[in-house]
Amino acid sequence: MNRQIGKGSLLFSEAPLIIGSASVVGTKEGEGPLAQEFDCIGDDDKFGQDNWEAAESSLQKEALTLAIGKSGKDPKDVRYLFAGDLLGQLIASSFGLKTFEIPLFGLFGACSTCGEALALSAMTVAAGYADYVAAVTSSHFASAEKQFRFPLEYANQRPVSATWTVTGAGAFVLAGKERNGGKRPLAKITGITTGKIVDYGFKDSMNMGAAMAPAACQLIAQNLEDFGRKPSDYDRIITGDLGAVGQKILFDLLSEKGYDISSVHEDCGMLIYDRETQGVGSGGSGCGCAATTLSAHFLPMLANGELKRILFVPTGALLSTVSFNEGETIPAIAHGVVLEACL
Amino acid sequence: MNRQIGKGSLLFSEAPLIIGSASVVGTKEGEGPLAQEFDCIGDDDKFGQDNWEAAESSLQKEALTLAIGKSGKDPKDVRYLFAGDLLGQLIASSFGLKTFEIPLFGLFGACSTCGEALALSAMTVAAGYADYVAAVTSSHFASAEKQFRFPLEYANQRPVSATWTVTGAGAFVLAGKERNGGKRPLAKITGITTGKIVDYGFKDSMNMGAAMAPAACQLIAQNLEDFGRKPSDYDRIITGDLGAVGQKILFDLLSEKGYDISSVHEDCGMLIYDRETQGVGSGGSGCGCAATTLSAHFLPMLANGELKRILFVPTGALLSTVSFNEGETIPAIAHGVVLEACL
């Protein structure tokens, strides 16, 4: 039986399998440290489209097509899509996924959406509501700058605490335990921890890592408490896009709760770019950051057994330009997914 | 066992119960035909806040507080929230719900979000993932006009095909079958049908009913096919906010598929305002329209047995000002929830 664990977690007795996944990224990500690991790197960040939003839609479409193809399935086998992006009213997802004609649950958790989508996908498969589902999330540097900050043509300056929105989409196909026909899956999702909104009163939208670190702290502590684990029970605890500034704050906040995760922590935003040479400030960010890094970098390490168990914790900053301009704080949320090797 | 039915539906063997619900609306809704049925009508559409977005957050907070109170439960009993609104990055939900400190799944399906939230809530409870969950959605006329059209101060003119965004929030508390301690629930959710994105190429954002009618048609036809039912198997088939213009198109589209739902169809957008006297064009719209009308008008009719079984189908138009300004079409989606009396 799947079980409620503690105050915010679920443990899946028949853990849903990730049977296919894909990452599609832009040019800057294709020049970074993970370049060799992505499935597809665009030649041009417009991906053949007329505008940035359509380019981001194109990223989602390609990532999902690739992930389904790699899973050996057909789009018609996929019963539900769980998808989202950073843009107002999720237009990257709506326009990117409409041609698939698959029943859709649109999600928004800012940069935590990849975790939210994987969590709901796992819940759906583990309950027997679907044989196959897919989770898709994306971000695009240029559409995000236009949405949240300034049009690129303004060439605004950025403080070093700012992060750089990843141009990329990640897609994951999940299946029930008995549905993979003997083929070894990439990993299984054995549990989830669902985050609550955490707001420490931060207001600096050029320092998202600081705004999101308290949500990551809440989620990680809740996960460890609910599952009765210590940090070393995970080979890695992986945040989505805290960046170097957020990481430091996360360590400080967790140490106040008696946890030291420094030996197992990695942050997708710190892995995807070379901060010394790529001018990205504190690191990468965006729904696409965690999604593409999980797909390209961590899932293969679970598939080959190099990692046995990880806690994947994308975090999201729940602001909009409207709330920012009204002087509001930046609430944040995190979604946790426990992934284990299938060996 | 809960079962997958057809291509897009689920049938719950142990149907989740709606054990509490509440509606909070603004002044215009409080002058309409359903005035006597709402739980709370604001004296002022700012609900004591400084801006429209904060007012909408306040609506969500009040609706959820009332719904939990009416269910006889405590906020700490509620394991998950499923919530959303129309604003970019869901700021009405994030700021409205943060003080509850309940794990949250943020959702976006435009005006269909109430159906999406009820569907995921029902799936979660029926799978045993939670004893109690809540679904909350809202819209606010002024925050929506600012988000999608013009600031109110412009006093722009509107064609008669336009709809009027409802100022209101609806909240629903769901529980597993055995969790209501003998008290009779308001209704049970026996099944859901999840919509796909439907895009007929419509581009007129002042005629949302026309843009969304094809999605309602797809959903209703899929539901009838999946469950092997005819329209008369439902006492009502209730769309969220097609308005008078969208209703006519829906009837035409369904008649092409061989279905006549005219004798059982009602539209929340046509019920919530008096179109003769309230100057609302084609009718009401917004996440809050379907949510408050279901809570205030239809749930009591299920609770007293006047209605036995209804199909609730909120529809959403998946546009943003960015996609509209880029000349894109208006894709739409619908989410269907089958509600039955518990007698």
B303-320 tens-digit pLDDT = 999 999 999 999 999 999
Output phi, psi for A23, to 5 deg: -130, 135
Report percent pLDDT > 70 for chain A. 99
B149, B162 Cβ separation under 8 angstroms:
no
Which chain A residue has the Cα nearest residue B191?
A: A129
- Altogether, the residues listed in chain A come to a count of 343
Q: Which of A113, A169, A104 is nearest to A134 (CA)?
A: A104
| Residue pLDDT, tens place only, A16-56 | 999 999 999 999 999 999 999 999 999 999 999 999 999 99
| Residue pLDDT, tens place only, A236-250 | 999 999 999 999 999
User: By CB neighbour count within 10 A (0-12 exposed, 13-18 middle, 19+ buried), where does B48 fall?
Assistant: exposed
| A287/A171 Cα distance (integer angstroms) | 11
pLDDT over threshold 90, residue B256: yes
Chain B residues close to A318, C-beta within 8 Å: 89-91, 94, 106
User: By CB neighbour count within 10 A (0-12 exposed, 13-18 middle, 19+ buried), where does A233 fall?
Assistant: middle
Q: Count Cβ atoms below 10 Å from residue B51 Cβ, excluding itself.
A: 18
Q: What is the mean pLDDT of residues A81-110?
A: 97
CB pairs under 8 A between A and B: 178
Q: Is the Cβ pair A116, B94 closer than 8 Å? A: no
- Nearby residues of A306 by Cβ (< 8 Å), 6 or more positions away: none
> Do the interacting molecules here have an ipTM over 0.90?
yes
pLDDT band, very low/low/confident/very high, at B280 (cuts 50, 70, 90): very high
| Residue pLDDT, tens place only, A320-336 | 999 999 999 999 999 99
The DSSP output letter for B109 is B
| A219/B304 Cα distance (integer angstroms) | 42
- Nearby residues of B217 by Cβ (< 8 Å), 6 or more positions away: B198, B250, B253, B254, B257
Q: Which pLDDT value is given to residue B181?
A: 66
Q: Is the Cβ pair A101, B51 closer than 8 Å? A: no
Q: Is the Cβ pair B129, A95 closer than 8 Å? A: no
pLDDT band, very low/low/confident/very high, at B41 (cuts 50, 70, 90): very high
Question: CA of A245: how far to CAs of A113, A211, A214, B62, B152, in Å?
Answer: 21, 10, 12, 37, 41
Output phi, psi for B174, to 5 deg: -110, 150
Chain B residues close to A87, C-beta within 8 Å: 88, 320, 322
| A109 DSSP β-pair partners | A111
The token pair at B287 is 């996440």
B137, B288 Cβ separation under 8 angstroms:
yes
| Residue pLDDT, tens place only, B198-216 | 999 999 989 999 999 999 9
pLDDT over threshold 90, residue A151: no
CA atoms within 13 A on the CB side of A188: 19
| B44/B333 Cα distance (integer angstroms) | 32
Q: Is the Cβ pair B103, A195 closer than 8 Å? A: yes
pLDDT over threshold 80, residue A180: no
B95, A327 Cβ separation under 8 angstroms:
no
> CB contact, 8 Å: B103 with chain A?
yes
Q: Which pLDDT value is given to residue B153?
A: 87
pLDDT over threshold 90, residue A288: yes
> CB contact, 8 Å: A327 with chain B?
no
Q: Which pLDDT value is given to residue B192?
A: 98
Q: Which pLDDT value is given to residue A140?
A: 97
Q: Is the Cβ pair A104, B54 closer than 8 Å? A: no
> CB contact, 8 Å: A106 with chain B?
yes
Q: Which range among A158-167, A175-184, B127-136 shows the weakest confidence by mean pLDDT? A: A175-184
Question: What's the one-letter identity of residue A294?
Answer: L
Average pLDDT value for chain A: 96
CA distance A65 to chain B (A): 17
| Residue pLDDT, tens place only, B100-157 | 999 999 999 999 999 999 999 999 999 999 999 999 999 999 999 999 988 888 888 8
Q: What is the mean pLDDT of residues A102-116?
A: 98
Which helix (H) or strand (E) segment holds residue B40: the answer is: strand B40-41
Of B91, B130, B326, the CB nearest to A53: B326
A216, A320 Cβ separation under 8 angstroms:
no
Q: Which of A305, A328, A289, A343 is nearest to A139 (CA)?
A: A289
pLDDT over threshold 90, residue B174: yes
Average pLDDT value for chain B: 96
> CB contact, 8 Å: A323 with chain B?
yes
Q: What is the mean pLDDT of residues A216-238?
A: 98
User: Which residues between 52 and 91 in chain A have a beta carbon less than 8 angstroms from any beta carbon of chain B?
Assistant: 53-54, 79-80, 84, 86-91
pTM (two decimals): 0.98
Instruction: Give SS3 for B189.
Output: strand
pLDDT band, very low/low/confident/very high, at A155 (cuts 50, 70, 90): confident
Long-range contacts of B156-161, Cβ-Cβ distance < 8 Å, separation of 24 or more: B158/B206, B158/B281, B159/B206, B159/B207, B159/B281, B160/B281, B160/B282, B161/B204, B161/B206, B161/B207, B161/B209, B161/B210, B161/B243, B161/B245, B161/B281, B161/B282
Q: What is the mean pLDDT of residues A312-318?
A: 97
pLDDT band, very low/low/confident/very high, at B326 (cuts 50, 70, 90): very high
Q: Which pLDDT value is given to residue B1?
A: 81
Report percent pLDDT > 90 for chain A. 92
pLDDT band, very low/low/confident/very high, at A181 (cuts 50, 70, 90): low
Q: Which pLDDT value is given to residue A179?
A: 63
Chain A residues close to B1, C-beta within 8 Å: 128
The DSSP output letter for B140 is -
Which of the two residues, B46 and B343, has the higher pLDDT score? B46
| A41 DSSP β-pair partners | A25
Q: Which pLDDT value is given to residue B180?
A: 65
pLDDT band, very low/low/confident/very high, at A183 (cuts 50, 70, 90): confident
Chain B residues close to A321, C-beta within 8 Å: 88
- Widest pairwise Cα distance in chain B: 55
User: By CB neighbour count within 10 A (0-12 exposed, 13-18 middle, 19+ buried), where does A225 fall?
Assistant: middle
C-alpha Rg value of chain B to the nearest Å:
18
B296 φ/ψ sector (left φ>0, alpha ψ -120 to 50, else beta): alpha
Residue among B51, B76, B108 with most chain A CBs within 10 A, to mutate: B108
Report percent pLDDT > 70 for chain B. 99
> CB contact, 8 Å: A203 with chain B?
no
Q: Is the Cβ pair A109, B110 closer than 8 Å? A: no
Of B8, B10, B322, the CB nearest to A87: B322
Q: Is the Cβ pair B318, A94 closer than 8 Å? A: yes
| Residue pLDDT, tens place only, B227-240 | 999 999 999 999 99
pLDDT over threshold 90, residue A184: no
